[in-house]
Chain A
Amino acid sequence: MSSPRRSAVLSGAHFMDGNHAACEGAIAAGANFAAGYPITPSTEIVERFASRAPLVGATFLQMEDELASSIAILGAAWGGAKAFTVTSGPGFSLMMEHIGFAAMTETPCVFVNVQRGGPSTGLPTLPAQADMMQARWGSHGDYEIIALCPNSPQECFNLMIDAFNFSEQYRNPVLLMMDESVGHMTEKVVIPPADQIDIIPRRYTSKAPSEYLPFKPASDDVPEMARVGEGYHFHVTGLTHDEHGYPSMEWQTQEALVGRLVGKIRAHADDLTRTEEKQLEDAEIVLVAYGISSRVALWALQKAREEGLRVGLLRPIVVWPFPEKRIRELAQRVKAFVVVELNYGQMVREVERAAAGRARTILVPHAGGAVHPPESIVKVLREVGS
């Protein structure tokens, strides 16, 4: 663990929106490179970074499109930078190939998606949570992803730091899956002193070039990186590769590599799981919601409790890997899960899978463009509770 540069961190209490807070989180995490392409409702993050970068020793480049920005950050990461890019729905679609490339080449990096209504151009200025499965499965081939969902500006700041730390620890792309409401919501954000922020540094090798194999994993299945320009003469490719990093078209190499890429995240799913839980002790019905929907669901929970319904809330903060163990445990003793999300049924599939028929799973869908009317959730809770 180390701490960020004190002069870069705006320690103190602020009144700022989620997008600005996410930018400050990145700077506090030590991000010194960002590339982006303008897209609503995410632009404030790179606008702020463009303004802050020259003051904190970082670089920002507005690229010609999302294809460029999503790989410029990977070039920068291999150049030694901590790098991120920011986008929303249509741009996220364009970035998919490079999320896969980052997973395949084990490049630490962070992608931020401030979700808006879709499909296609959809609702550029309005919220949705309809990219959750794309976050998990959007790039081709088998890989695992880590994704986090903040529900407040404070959490945009906090989770951005966690996103960078996870990306360094597991050498995997990490997604911060915000939504327009959280991005544009202004609240109090407390930025701690720099020496109270824990930063996981890049896992550089101490081996000599002659003893170093670029993709030979350490004990936790994550290989150490070499610094570019230091004589390691390493090779990085999106092709299936062996421990030397050299391409190999053998099925055995594919099995070993993909097995390890998937395994290094799955084996640590418990370490990665993070949830917020409210009033689950006596709950018969568990609301499952994340991001902005969790705040609407909390309102519905309080209303339902006033009516005597035994309702609790489970909020996945790390959404991928999905907290399936926790859902499985709860499914043994609760009557139903009510999933509230701004889409027509995405994470609900994970809840249903983990519940495995032991408890009912009900979706409260919403196509986005607004948040759920709280009453619509309470209505479902009443029906389920009766």
Chain B
Amino acid sequence: MSVMVPFNPVEPFLRSERMPHIWCSGCGIGTTVNCFARALAESKLPLDKVAIVSGIGCTGRVAGYLNLDSFHTTHGRAIPFATGLKLANPELTVVVYSGDGDLIAIGGNHFIHAARRNVDIKVICINNFIYGMTGGQVAPTTPVGATATTAPYGCFERPFNLPYLAESSGAVYVARWTAYHVRYIAHSMAEALRKKGFSFIEILAPCPTLYQRRNKLGDGLETMRYYKQHSVIRHGANTRDLNLDFQGEITLGKFVDIERPTLQQTMGQRFRQVLRERYAG
């Protein structure tokens, strides 16, 4: 007797020998990795020329599972590592894949500066509103009122509105989805992979073990229902209006898709203009 194993189109993009992965059941990160693999396939980019950089945390482990040149860097510093990698090797497509705490708290300064410079990297932020790896501490994305191990009486700090932060810092592509909206995610990722410049995709994802359970929001499936029922897609919405309230309505879509010269383009233009034939670039 033989068992037919259907071909999994995502498998060539993964390091199968590293499975099983570390993520909890119901976690949204793996779902987004599936979307990313499909986006890579759709983009038709040569995989040898795609590099992935992660920081630290649950999402920081993404780099290790993808069958690409991959870099698992230090906490908060995936973006400046990616900046150096891209500048040194411009033919690479460089993707930063990390979590909200990594990219926006400890790495927040690098996030705004890379967007300002328009470094040609694609930043995917899995936002689960919490520090998962360390056990459920409050993050700069935790909605007001949600509890965390270090906000036991509920979060009282206003969270960042990430699309607004990205756009106002200079990102040329900004989108937000939830882990429920897998086809939109894959499509958005494929668009970002083709886009020149600092591209940012926020993906809301459940952390059933720490965020949902502590806040009595059910399991991963329950969160998918919430995403489905409370999300509204408004492409082109003003990013000022994208604040996230605890269990409130979620606005999704592609908000920014503009053209602006990248860091390498402005650098080259400047040197050619000023140095002319002396420029060795």
Listed in ascending order, the chain A residues whose CB lies under 8 Å from chain B are 7, 32-33, 35, 54-57, 59, 61, 63-65, 67-69, 71-81, 83, 97-98, 101, 228-239, 246-247
Judge whether B67 and A233 touch: CB under 8 Å: yes
Does B88 lie within 8 Å of A80, measured CB to CB?
yes
Q: Given contacts A56-B280, A235-B63, are A78 and B85 in contact (CB under 8 A)?
A: yes
Name B65's closest neighbour in chain A (CB-CB).
Answer: A235
Alpha-carbon gap, A75 to B281, bound state (A): 19
**Residues of B contacting A81 in the complex (Cβ-Cβ under 8 angstroms):** 84, 88-89
Q: How many residues of B contact A (CB 8 A)?
A: 41
Interface stretch, picked from B70-78, B183-191, B243-251, is: B70-78
Shortest Cβ distance from A86 into chain B, in angstroms? 15
Q: How far is the CA of A246 from the CA of B63 in the complex (A)?
A: 11
Residue of A nearest to B71 (CB): A236
Asked if B110 and A64 sit within 8 Å, CB to CB, the answer is: yes
Whether A237 contacts B280 by the Cβ 8 Å rule is no
Residue among B63, B67, B80, B86 having the largest count of chain A Cβ atoms under 10 Å: B80
Of all chain B residues, which has the CB nearest A69? Answer: B80
In the bound complex, CA of A78 to CA of B15 (Å) = 21
Query: In the complex, are the beta carbons of B89 and A71 less than 8 A apart?
Result: no
By beta carbon, the residue of chain A nearest B274 is A54
Residue in B71, B109, B113 whose beta carbon sits within 8 Å of that of A78 in the complex = B71
Not counting A59-B267, A61-B84, A63-B83, a sample of 15 additional A-B residue pairs whose C-beta atoms are within 8 angstroms of each other reads: A55-B275, A56-B280, A61-B83, A67-B77, A69-B80, A72-B87, A75-B73, A75-B80, A79-B84, A79-B87, A228-B92, A233-B48, A234-B70, A235-B70, A246-B18
* Bound complex: CA A74 to CA B18 (Å): 25
Of the A-B pairs whose beta carbons lie under 8 Å apart in the complex, a sample of 30, sorted by A's number, is A32-B88, A54-B271, A57-B280, A57-B281, A61-B84, A64-B109, A68-B83, A68-B113, A71-B73, A74-B84, A75-B80, A75-B86, A76-B84, A79-B86, A79-B87, A81-B88, A83-B88, A98-B74, A101-B73, A228-B69, A228-B92, A229-B92, A233-B68, A234-B70, A235-B15, A235-B70, A235-B71, A236-B71, A237-B63, A237-B64
Q: Please name the residue on chain B nearest to A75 by beta carbon.
A: B84
- Contact indicator A33/B88 (Cβ below 8 Å): yes
Q: Is B51 an interface residue (CB 8 A)?
A: yes
Interface residue from A59, A73, A247 paired with B64 (Cβ < 8 Å)? A247
Determine whether the beta carbon of B48 is less than 8 Å from that of A231: yes
Q: When the two chains form their complex, are residues A229 and B84 in contact, meaning their CB atoms are under 8 A apart?
A: no
Q: Is the interface of A mostly helix, strand, loop or mixed?
A: mixed
Q: Mark B266-281, 1 if CB is under 8 A from A, else 0.
A: 0100010001001111
Contact residues in B for A238 (Cβ distance below 8 Å):
72-74
Q: Is the CB of B110 within 8 A of A68?
A: yes
* Residue numbers in A under 8 Å from B72 (CB-CB): 235-239, 247
- Is the C-beta of B194 less than 8 angstroms from some C-beta in chain A? no
- Taking CB atoms, residues of chain B closer than 8 Å to A246 are 18, 64
Determine the distance from Cα of A276 to Cα of B60 in the docked complex, in whole angstroms: 47
Given the complex of chains A and B, what is the CA–CA distance between A233 and B68 in angstroms? 4
- Using CB atoms, name the residue of chain B closest to A68: B80
In the bound assembly, the distance between CA atoms of A65 and B85 in angstroms comes to: 17
Q: How far is the CB of A74 from chain B (nearest CB, A)?
A: 6
Q: A68-B113, A72-B80 given as contacts; is B64 within 8 A of A79 (CB)?
A: no
Q: Is B260 an interface residue (CB 8 A)?
A: no
Nearest Cβ on chain A to B64's Cβ, whole angstroms: 6
Contacts of A75 in B (CB 8 A): 53, 71, 73, 80-86, 88
